[in-house]
Amino acid sequence: MRINRIDHVSINVNDLSEAKAFFLDLGLEVQAEWELDGEQLDRIVGLKDVKTACIGLGMPDGQAWIELVKFYTPSDEKNIQKPFANTLGIRHICLAVEDLESIVAKLKKKSTEIFSEIEQYGESYKLCYVRGPEGIILELAEKIS
CATH number reported for the structural domain that contains residue 23 in this entry:
3.10.180.10
Domain-embedded: residue 61:
yes
Domain-embedded: residue 80:
no
Domain-embedded: residue 29:
yes
Q: Model's pTM, two decimal places?
A: 0.70
CA 133 to chain centre: 17
Where in the sequence is the domain holding 50, given as residue range(s)?
2-74+89-143
* Structure confidence by residue, pLDDT tens digits, 78-93: 766 666 667 777 678 7
Cis upstream peptide for 83 (omega within 30°): no
Domain-embedded: residue 82:
no
Helix (H) or strand (E) run with residue 33 in it? strand 29-37
> What integer is the mean pLDDT of 39-53?
94
Domain-embedded: residue 102:
yes
Domain-embedded: residue 113:
yes
Structural domain count, the chain: 1
* Structure confidence by residue, pLDDT tens digits, 113-144: 898 889 999 999 999 998 877 577 889 999 99
* Structure confidence by residue, pLDDT tens digits, 100-115: 999 999 989 988 889 8
Give yes or no for residue 39 having a pLDDT over 80. yes
Domain-embedded: residue 81:
no
Domain-embedded: residue 79:
no
